């Protein structure tokens, strides 16, 4: 009986993620197109020192890596192929600043474990998708930003009580995405937790709703998005136990692009675009607004 209810919840979540309400109506809470800002495209912008920019200029548009199953951050409507969310808005602001009309961006879904390779082999021009800046990754790619600060959290079923810290999950099954910092932290700092990895967090959430795992762990931003979609079934517990500064991933050698994106993030924070975009996307998941962290314009190595 319970299992049937959860299977139904998993289906509901899938429908919510697909952008369908109960009777084909739009989801109750979701990015509202009419509230999203329009970003002014920079006229006569040129960045000849950036090989990524020159390649995009020849092509006529940008190719941006993103997530497609993270509510309020990066979500793809399977019917229309349109991507929405806070990360998608950041990608659009960057496009406008680089002189490309945001509506021409070609988004490509890239899973957490494949981001560095996608940037290294030129599959994408830059990546915006809950991508934590850290020293290990900086050996492989460059990061503009940060443009947002998240923290690792835990998502459980609503009827779960008393499990709120990572230690509470010793001997229990906890799911996260392969190649993610939350997965790596659990393996290193909480070795008694039985970790399960999938390519995406939405598969982890399906496993949680159907009792295959006891929790999902990743950034609180991502988790509160899932909880907001099916609040009767899922809740975020405890306090964030890490700092996850989100950066825009670029090829490591393209410092010109990285610095241009640092400037662009700063400009869109100053002119109010960042706040408007936040309110119309991630803000709808119920997260209290937090100021953007300072840009870390680290020198070229
Ligand atoms: N921010 C974390 C990371 O970059 C988790 C989210 C994700 O996998 O995108 O690994």
At 17 the pLDDT is 56
What distance in angstroms lies between residue 32's CA and the mean position of ligand 1's atoms?
A: 25
Pairwise CA distance, residues 222 & 199, whole Å: 15
The DSSP bridge partners found for residue 65 are: 108, 127
Render pLDDT for 172-210 as a digit per residue (tens, 0 to 9). 999 999 999 999 999 999 999 999 999 999 999 999 999
Q: Which of 239, 217, 203, 109 is nearest to 156 (CA)?
A: 217
For residue 177, the number of C-alpha atoms closer than 13 Å in the C-beta half-sphere is 25
pLDDT band at 16 (very low <50, low <70, confident <90, very high): low
Query: In this prediction, what percent of the chain has a pLDDT beyond 90?
Result: 84
CA angle 208, 209, 215 (to 5 degrees): 25
pLDDT band at 3 (very low <50, low <70, confident <90, very high): low
At 10 the pLDDT is 62
Instruction: Provide the 10 A C-beta neighbour count for residue 287.
Output: 18
At 22 the pLDDT is 38
181 lines ligand 1 (CB under 6 A): yes
Pairwise CA distance, residues 147 & 89, whole Å: 12
At 92 the pLDDT is 98
Q: Which of 285, 291, 293, 246 is nearest to 31 (CA)?
A: 285
Q: Is 215 helix (H, G, I), strand (E, B) or coil?
A: strand
Pairwise CA distance, residues 253 & 296, whole Å: 17
pLDDT band at 8 (very low <50, low <70, confident <90, very high): low
3-state secondary structure 243-262: CEEEEEEEECCCHHHHHHHH
Render pLDDT for 204-255 as a digit per residue (tens, 0 to 9). 999 999 999 999 999 999 999 999 999 999 999 999 999 999 999 999 999 9
CA 21 to chain centre: 23
Pairwise CA distance, residues 118 & 297, whole Å: 23
Which residues, in sequence order, are CB contacts of 254 under 8 Å at separation 6+?
50, 51, 52, 142
Which residues, in sequence order, are CB contacts of 260 under 8 Å at separation 6+?
47, 50, 53, 97, 98
Contact 71, 285 (CB under 8 A): yes
> Do 31-150+246-285 and 152-237 agree at the fold level?
yes
Give the residue, 1 or 85, on which the prediction is more confident.
85
Look up residue 120 and give its DSSP letter.
H
Atom in ligand 1 nearest the alpha carbon of residue 130: 9
Q: Which of 299, 295, 268, 292 is nearest to 150 (CA)?
A: 292
Residue to substitute in 152, 177, 195, 220 for testing ligand 1 pocket (most ligand atoms within 8 angstroms of CB): 177
For domain 152-237, say whether CATH 3.30.750.24 is its number: no
Residue to substitute in 86, 88, 112, 136 for testing ligand 1 pocket (most ligand atoms within 8 angstroms of CB): 112
Render pLDDT for 60-78 as a digit per residue (tens, 0 to 9). 999 999 999 999 999 999 9
130 lines ligand 1 (CB under 6 A): yes
Which CATH code, of 3.40.190.10, 3.40.50.720, 3.30.540.10, 3.40.50.300, is assigned to 31-150+246-285?
3.40.190.10
177 lines ligand 1 (CB under 6 A): yes
Instruction: Provide the 10 A C-beta neighbour count for residue 101.
Output: 14
180 lines ligand 1 (CB under 6 A): yes
Structure tokens at 192: 């008694």
Pairwise CA distance, residues 179 & 197, whole Å: 9
Residue to substitute in 88, 175, 182, 184 for testing ligand 1 pocket (most ligand atoms within 8 angstroms of CB): 182
The DSSP bridge partners found for residue 249 are: 127, 143
Atom in ligand 1 nearest the alpha carbon of residue 150: 1
42 pLDDT more than 60: yes
Average pLDDT over residues 163-170: 98
In DSSP notation, 201-212 reads HHHHHHHHHTTS
Q: Where are the domains of the chain?
A: 31-150+246-285, 152-237
Contact 111, 199 (CB under 8 A): yes
What distance in angstroms lies between residue 284's CA and the mean position of ligand 1's atoms?
A: 21
């Amino acid at each position: 009986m319970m299992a049937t209810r959860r299977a139904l919840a998993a289906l509901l979540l899938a429908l919510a993620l697909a952008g369908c309400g109960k009777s084909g109506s739009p989801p109750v809470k979701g990015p509202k197109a009419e509230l999203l800002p329009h970003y002014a495209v920079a006229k006569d912008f040129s960045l000849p020192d950036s090989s990524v920019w020159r390649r995009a200029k020849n092509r006529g548009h940008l190719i941006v890596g993103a997530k497609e199953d993270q509510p309020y951050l990066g979500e793809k409507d399977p019917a229309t192929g349109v991507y929405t969310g806070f990360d998608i808005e950041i990608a659009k602001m960057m496009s406008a600043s680089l002189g490309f009309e945001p509506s021409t961006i070609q988004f490509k879904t890239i899973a957490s474990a494949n981001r560095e390779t996608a940037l290294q082999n030129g599959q994408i021009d830059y990546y915006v998708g809950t991508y934590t800046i850290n020293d290990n990754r900086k050996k492989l790619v460059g990061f503009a930003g940060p443009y947002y600060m998240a923290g690792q959290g835990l998502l459980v079923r609503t009827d779960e009580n008393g499990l709120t810290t990572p230690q509470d999950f010793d001997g229990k099954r906890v799911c996260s995405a392969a190649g993610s910092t939350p997965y790596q932290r659990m393996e290193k700092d909480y070795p008694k937790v039985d970790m399960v990895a999938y390519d995406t967090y939405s598969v982890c959430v399906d496993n949680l709703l159907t009792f295959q795992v006891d929790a999902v762990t990743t950034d609180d931003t991502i988790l509160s998005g899932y909880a907001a979609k099916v609040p009767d079934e899922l809740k975020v517990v405890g306090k964030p136990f890490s700092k996850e500064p989100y950066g825009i991933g670029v090829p490591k050698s393209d410092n010109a692009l990285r610095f241009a994106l640092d400037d662009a993030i700063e400009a869109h924070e100053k002119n109010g675009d960042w706040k408007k975009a936040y309110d119309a996307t991630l803000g709808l998941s119920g997260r209290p607004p937090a100021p953007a962290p300072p840009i870390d314009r680290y020198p070229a190595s």
